Structure 1
Amino acid sequence: MNHKRIVDIELLRGIAVLGVVFHHLQGNLFPGGLAWLGDIAAYGQFWWGVDLFFAISGFVIARSLIPQLRACTSGQQCWQRTRDFWIRRAFRLLPSAWLWLLLMLLASLFLNRSGAFGSLHANLWATLAGVLQFANFRFAESFFHYEYGASFVYWSLALEEQFYLLLPLLVLLCRKYLVWVLLALVVVQLFTLRSVLLMFVRTDAMALGVLLALWTARASYRRWEPRLLGRPGLGPLLLVLGCLGMGWLATDGFNVTHYRVGVLAVLCAALVWIASYDRDYLLPRGALKSLLAWVGSRSYGIYLIHIPAFLLIREAWFRLGPLGSTPSDQPLLALAGAVGLLLALSELNYRGIELPLRNRGAELVRRLGTSRSSVPSPGVTSC
């Protein structure tokens, strides 16, 4: 099992979450909108950070899970390894997710004079959808029809958690045909017009991440290593142009094509491929890379917390700011407050929730493994 931390993958996580946070400034921290954010959105949008997360998840999960499942010698062992995987994922993801669902629900009750958190009714349903992992289906249904609630970003978490449930079963059922099934999944989505529902069940980037993980076990993966990017300045230039190009592709002007989301998935997977070698191809080591990798290591908490942080700033502004003013009146001050609050809360979440519960899940899996190994084999008498 490969647990090696890939710093370049953390770099991409940092870029992905910063893109999503920036995308959500308009309409959440600044509900009335800012002209300069609107000008940027006309030339580049950064919601593709979610697809980059999907590609990373497919790659990171598959590179450790699939070798374990393929090494199984019995059905019982396959089930035990699948169960262990689900336990680790549950302890990694659910405590933080449920905590912030609860806090947003409480905020809609007790910290909502401004109405920033939305109605209690919408947040009750959003909390239920988040806990039961159908937030993506509810978000698709609500899109431009009714209020979802403050936890709308949970649609992508629900999709990832559905992926984590299904991937082990797909690996065990498809076996040697897994690559062809994943390729078909990618190709079908590439040439399909994305309805609202299909936008919130898109799995092409995740499938490409899994395919990349499978490729790393082959000799051709090393032969195709992009060593040319080791030349000074070439990798960072590619990274900047790639991010800007995907931002341009994500603008509303490309809604007319069937292929936009699929192309974004391919481009995100290409970045993950380059990062997978962990050779500093995308960005040389230094302060900037260390900062982005730090952001990447906290990206899960930042993703969960950025919307409630934005809404808390709006609520505080309503209560404490000049009468009738909004964060849009002093955007730099509001942005500084939101960033500071987000970083503080995500660090607390990382140290107080994510790390301890991740370790607790690993310890539970270890104890289960120990208890299994202590059971005597048939025909063996214990002392």
Structure 2
Amino acid sequence: MVRLGRLDGLRGIAACGVAFTYHSTGLFADGALASTNPVVHWLHWSGWLFVDMFFVLSGYIFAHVYLGRNALKNGTDLADFGIARVARLYPLHLLMLLLTVALFWSKPENTVLAFGAHLVMLQALVPPVAQTFNGPTWSLSVEAMCYVLFAMGAAAGPRALRLVTGLAIFLALFMIVSNAAPEGPYVRDNFPRGLLGFFLGQVLWHQRARLAGVPGWVLAGLIVAGLAIPPAAFGAILPLVLLTFPAVLLLGLRLRWLESRPLIWLGDRSYAIYLVHLPLRDLFLELSGPLGGSAAEIVLGHALFIAVTLLLSDLALRFVEMPARRAIRAGWDRRSQRAALA
């Protein structure tokens, strides 16, 4: 199966967008990062929407990996799929959860109920706890639910998957429009955001041959259009998920520089960046308090936060993610072999 390296580069950019343009603003005192530059302003206040780019990318990549080679046909395939997902997501999630318990248990919102929900990755379904402990992991919970729907639909056959995809997109649109809020995300939006982005990514993969002929200038226009539509019209999510992010994905598939070594490096560490950055930011705040507003403090504060996040993410990939993934997969393979011989 051909690796979509350019989408890995996009994934790295999206992770950095969440970590270093949105959540990093919490390092600074109120008003310290005020800017009249529209790009800077959007990144500071709307960078949370990079999460929805993750959902679209995931849907496309999963279709490419699993549907492209018809890899989900029966119960054995579903079990292999589930183990692969656990091996990919859970080890670092568990480590970061335990670290946040050790560091931030005293916060009133970090309760036993919240810990239990995070432990089984169901935090997105329990609104009071979705943003506790390591807040960004709500999206892992949503992605896991999308994986279940996708795998079950794919195993049931193409018609069933088309039905699942259509129903998921319809339900997501209905829920998002019903709850549209221009000023920011709400917990009740979490599940439909994941459904819409993930299954829209599936549609893009199925239509990839037709969409390959769309001129680049049209895609660029869609990117700008999604950004230009006022959030008050449809909420902050829909214009970007329906216009901008699909166009970014399709255009990204044509851009060789997204396969550059630095971006592939970031893409490989995107999951770790996503899980490490917020606990690290909160630890910075515990140790130093909010930073002031001088230019030197802003630059040095951001630089230090980025450097430490990238260092820890690299260590997490090499010493947690990859070894745990290999161990879990090897254990599952041995179990499967014993079962086949029994």
Which band: TM-score by shorter chain? 0.7 to 0.9
Q: 1 CA distance for matches of 2:160 and 2:95? A: 39
Is 1:205 aligned to residue 172 of structure 2?
no
Q: Measure the CA separation in 2 of the matches of 1:176 and 1:151.
A: 38
The one-letter code matched in structure 2 to 1:208 is L
What is the CA–CA distance in structure 2 between the aligned matches of 1:361 and 1:59, rounded to whole Å? 25
| Counterpart contact for 1:302–1:346, Cα < 8 Å | yes
Q: Which residue identity does 1:165 align to in structure 2?
A: V
TM-score (norm 2): 0.81
Q: So what's the TM-score if we normalise by structure 1?
A: 0.74
What runs of 5+ residues in structure 2 fail to find an aligned partner? 180-185
User: Deviation of residue 283 (structure 1)?
Assistant: 4.7
Q: Which residue of 1 aligns with 2:281?
A: 310
Contact 1:13 1:296 in 2 (8 A): yes
**Cα shift at 1:168:** 1.5
Match of 1:176? 159
Q: Which has the larger radius of gyration?
A: 1
After superposition, residues 218-367 of structure 1 pair within 5 angstroms as 221=209, 224-226=211-213, 229=216, 238=220, 246=226, 249=229, 253-257=230-234, 260-267=236-243, 268-275=245-252, 278=253, 281-284=254-257, 289-318=260-289, 326=291, 328=293, 330-367=297-334
Compared with structure 1, are the counterparts of its residues 345 and 214 closer, same or farther at alpha carbon in structure 2 (3 Å cutoff)? same
Does structure 1 residue 87 correspond to structure 2 residue 77?
A: no
Q: Residues 33 and 283 (structure 1 numbering): CA distance in 2 closer, same or farther, change over 3 Å? A: farther
Match of 1:156 among 139, 147, 157: 139
Query: Structure 1 residues 351, 212: closer, same or farther in 2, change over 3 A?
Result: same
Distance 1:244 1:355, change over 3 A: farther
C-alpha change, 1:364 and 1:227, in structure 2 (3 Å) is farther
> Are positions 1:49 and 2:50 aligned together?
yes
Out of 2, 5, 25, the position equivalent to 2:3 is 5
Counterparts in 2 of 1:119-134, with a 5 A limit?
119=107, 122=110, 124-134=112-122
Residue 248 (structure 1) shift: 5.1
Corresponding position of 1:371:
338
Percentage of matched positions with identical amino acids: 23
Contact in 2 for aligned 1:63/1:213 (Cα 8 Å): yes
Q: How many residues align?
A: 326
- Larger helix share, 1 or 2: 2
Q: Is the 8 A contact 1:171 1:178 kept in 2?
A: yes
CA RMSD, Structure 1 to Structure 2 (Å): 3.2
